[in-house]
A and B are shown apart, each in its own frame.
Chain A
Amino acid sequence: MLIFTLRRFSLFFFTLLLLTMLSFSLSFLFPGEQLINLTGQISASPEQLAVLANEYQHHSGLLGQYISYLKHLFQGDMGYSMTSHLPISNEVLNRLPATVELASVALLVAMFVGIPVGFCAAIYHRKAADNLILTIAMIGYSIPVFWLGILAILVFSIQLGWLPSSGQISLLFEIKHITGLQLIDIILSDSPYKWQAFQDATRHLILPVIVVALAPATIFMRLARSAMLEVLDTHYIKAAKAKGLTFSQIIYRHAMRNAIIKVIRDIGLQFANLITIAMVTEVIFSWPGIGSWLIESIYQRDYTAIQGGLIVLSSFIFIVHIIIDLVYAALNPLAREPRHGT
């Protein structure tokens, strides 16, 4: 397990190194002065620029510049946004929790819906239920997310008026920013309208979560289905059948646990996909997350924000990926040491 963990961390380290190189080289590739692209100080006076040039070792070689860039990065200094003139790190800390909230709730929904349905499909293999589930999964997977989002607003907000179409919570509720995760902040707050605020925030969550969760849920369905089929085909299931266990005993005691392990490994991979979907969804539902912020900064040509957002978002995805890998390895000894299996 230790070696496995170390291996993952060394991978993480090198990937991050590559990412920072990419981000650093972006500051050269974007139009305009490289130093300004890197720091975001568009209205700095020549004196201030000289100080900055010194700080970022602008006059030494590329390697020196890159190392001083890394130093700033590790101190949490990603420069200033060219549009709002606020530190990028502040903006990111304000925005990232909203994305985490949306993505994690969507991931949970996708798992709790997708995996059981996938298992059902496998159990009823080649029967009507299986075909129906496969069809739904195929359709769900093919629907473009922006279209689904707009359709959801059209039906549930505009036509039916059931659910709100934008934002994280109604502006009427004043919730202090503590963790940034809206639902937790509401519980921590001392507002007299706590319960109303919680309901309101939940209502705001429903549509974006469904939109984000749909595609991953259908993927989980298919993964769970094939994992289950594979397990059901193994010798130990046949042995269990031969022992005379009932069908539900076989499924619940033997098959399900082993099939879930196989699915968990892919959750990490799906997370990157989910964040991409969440970014588009954030724009449609005016969700104040990092995705809509990043897309907005692309529109505004806010180069510093693009570089900072890129690093933060990709390291976030990578960290989640590693955590899920570790969980998977903890659950499944086979993954830690391939020797055991063969």
Chain B
Amino acid sequence: MAYSTLKYYYRFALLILVLSGCDSNEALSLSKKSIIYCSEGPPESFNPQTVSSGTTIDATSHQLYNRLIEFSPVDNAIIPAIAKSWHVTRDGKMITFYLRKDIQFHQTRYFMPTRALNADDVLFSFNRMLDINHEYHPISGGKYPFFQNAQLASLIDKIEKINDHTIRFRLAHADSSFLANIGGDSAVILSKEYADELVELNAMQEIDMLPIGTGPFKFKQYSSGAFIRYEPHSNYWRGKSELKQLVFDITPRDTARLTKLLAGECDVIAYPIAHEKIKQHPNLILESVISFNVGYFGFNTRKPPFNDPLVRKALSYAINKQAILEAVYTGQAEVANGIIPNSSWAYDARITSQDYSIATAQKLLTQAGYSNGFSMDLWAMPVQRSYNPDAITMAKLIQADLQKIGVEVNIVSGYEWSTFLRKVSEGEHQSVLLGWSADNPDPDNFFSSLLSCSAANTGSNRTFWCNKKFDQLIQKALKTNNINKRKAYYSKALKLINEEVPLIPIAHSKRYQARGNSVKGTVLRAIGGVDFNGVTKN
């Protein structure tokens, strides 16, 4: 008995030794060539056409699919993708795309493509969204939020197939933000051959759950709410990824994501907490991108005293943006100089926001005839958004700031979000704390939606500021395709906003990500979120 017990112990100890000792060379293979990304939630679908949530876009859009054109990760300019080149007619109403001939769809256990991508696939992908009589239109609910928001159905008159590798869009009217919309995360190209096969199999809804695309990774497995497993697409036209696997480990708890990062179970995590701890760690890197959004303090320019630009300008000097950044955004944002973030090509570094100066503010206020100050209402939005994580606190800070120049602020809060938006779009407010998140990197997305006269009529321009000169500038910018000319127009528009101050831009929030330093390449992008194309590990 004694001998055998000892023998047991001996064997047990030997097993442990063997387990710990054999770690050296073989282990290099799988985990060193694969990436685990800890994401914040499960995707709703594997087709980004049908949803607009960031989590779904992150998980699918750039991993599984390509678009006709895409945005450069450096400056968000438009670059070729499935379309190797394109041509816009002088009147801006006809856009012709010339497709690459070497783009292969994914080969998976559920579908084997027999041909390369051609114009039929492009036609199918767009018609599914635009044509309500298309057989695939009602599949997965028949909602295509991004395209419906951009009103592409009314903009696109017709899509024509010129030949197998040429496709032409005819627009109802010129719109230079069209290209940006076509390059958006949701404008992915699906396989028509796969769709036809599913019709025959009578399994049409599978097109969105068992995806086939042309992107750098192909779908392998999805365990509902737990993980997604992707494999590299061996015939990817930009070159096969060096990774063996890409796994999305769905970890909704932020503390769990951090633990997994520190324990080496995740290579990259979304939305990290404890930034300082990550920064101090020798093997971890904290990254951020400035999102395409802006949080602002807007004035109802139809109501006195804010119908006077001088008053608005005075207030803009009195607001301590830096303090707001620290208290409300906890440093996870950048001071907004204009409504455009600096990652956009239309950003103009020469235009800076008003400095914080009580004296100047006081002087301007006296000039405007309000030397004794006045009292005003400030509406604070009742929900958290990335562009404004805590509007009530921001309102209190502004209240304190404005008190210094004799302006008394009553904070209006307590409305439910939809009521709040309705009342604000009806112009009941005197001033408001709100924000805007862009759907695509085209700068027009900020100008037209936030401050144009037409937006003032529909109520999405919460300041009701309607300036003919400004409107002409942004119209001109939309009618030309020359990027330098557009840039010049937008510069002038930004300057105009700076002079008239219909709103005070406060901050562009940042999106964070943390990763181990063995992961090389750009994962996080300002537009489009997460992209593992070209990412390696060593």
**Distance, CA A196 to CA B30, complexed state (A):** 8
**Among A163, A172, A174, A248, which residue has its beta carbon within 8 angstroms of that of B263?**
A163
Pairwise interchain contact B263-A157, C-beta atoms closer than 8 A? yes
**Distance, CA A157 to CA B34, complexed state (A):** 20
Q: How far is the CB of B263 from chain A (nearest CB, A)?
A: 4
Q: How far is the CB of B289 from chain A (nearest CB, A)?
A: 26
Instruction: List residues of chain A with CB under 8 Å of any chain B CB.
Output: 84, 112, 116, 153, 157-158, 161, 163-167, 170-174, 193, 195-196, 199, 202, 248, 251-253, 256-257, 286
Q: How far is the CB of B498 from chain A (nearest CB, A)?
A: 48
Contacting residues of chain B (14-71) with chain A, CB-CB under 8 angstroms:
19, 22-23, 26-27, 29-31, 34, 36
Q: With an 8 A cutoff between CB atoms, is B262 at the interface?
A: yes
Pairwise interchain contact A164-B30, C-beta atoms closer than 8 A? no
Pairwise interchain contact B256-A286, C-beta atoms closer than 8 A? yes
- List residues of chain B with CB within 8 A of the CB of A195: 22, 26
Q: How far is the CB of A187 from chain B (nearest CB, A)?
A: 14
Pairwise interchain contact B1-A199, C-beta atoms closer than 8 A? no
Contacting residues of chain B (259-300) with chain A, CB-CB under 8 angstroms:
259-260, 262-265
- List residues of chain B with CB within 8 A of the CB of A173: 30
- List residues of chain A with CB within 8 A of the CB of B415: none
Pairwise interchain contact A157-B29, C-beta atoms closer than 8 A? no
- List residues of chain A with CB within 8 A of the CB of B264: 161, 164
Instruction: List residues of chain B with CB under 8 Å of any chain A CB.
Output: 1-2, 5, 8-9, 12, 19, 22-23, 26-27, 29-31, 34, 36, 221, 224, 227, 229, 245, 247, 249, 256, 259-260, 262-265
- A161 and B262 contact, Cβ closer than 8 Å, known pairs A112-B8, A112-B12: yes
- List residues of chain B with CB within 8 A of the CB of A286: 256
For A153, the closest partner residue in chain B by CB is B259
Pairwise interchain contact B256-A171, C-beta atoms closer than 8 A? no
User: How many A-B contacts are there with CB distance less than 8 Å?
Assistant: 69
For A83, the closest partner residue in chain B by CB is B225
Q: A84-B224, A199-B27 are in contact. List 20 more A-B contacts (CB 8 A).
A: A157-B263, A158-B259, A158-B262, A161-B264, A165-B259, A166-B265, A171-B247, A172-B30, A172-B36, A172-B245, A173-B30, A174-B221, A174-B229, A193-B29, A196-B26, A196-B30, A199-B19, A199-B22, A199-B23, A256-B2
Q: How far is the CB of B508 from chain A (nearest CB, A)?
A: 32
**Distance, CA A256 to CA B249, complexed state (A):** 49
Pairwise interchain contact B2-A252, C-beta atoms closer than 8 A? yes
For B221, the closest partner residue in chain A by CB is A174
Q: Sort A-B residue pairs by CB-CB distance and give the 4 closest, nearest first.
A: A157-B263, A252-B2, A158-B262, A165-B263
Pairwise interchain contact B265-A164, C-beta atoms closer than 8 A? yes
Pairwise interchain contact A165-B265, C-beta atoms closer than 8 A? yes
**Distance, CA A163 to CA B19, complexed state (A):** 13
Pairwise interchain contact A171-B262, C-beta atoms closer than 8 A? no
**Distance, CA A172 to CA B19, complexed state (A):** 19
- List residues of chain B with CB within 8 A of the CB of A252: 1-2
**Distance, CA A248 to CA B263, complexed state (A):** 46
For B227, the closest partner residue in chain A by CB is A171
Q: How far is the CB of B118 from chain A (nearest CB, A)?
A: 34
Pairwise interchain contact A172-B31, C-beta atoms closer than 8 A? yes
Pairwise interchain contact B29-A165, C-beta atoms closer than 8 A? no
**Among B2, B224, B229, which residue has its beta carbon within 8 angstroms of that of A171?**
B229
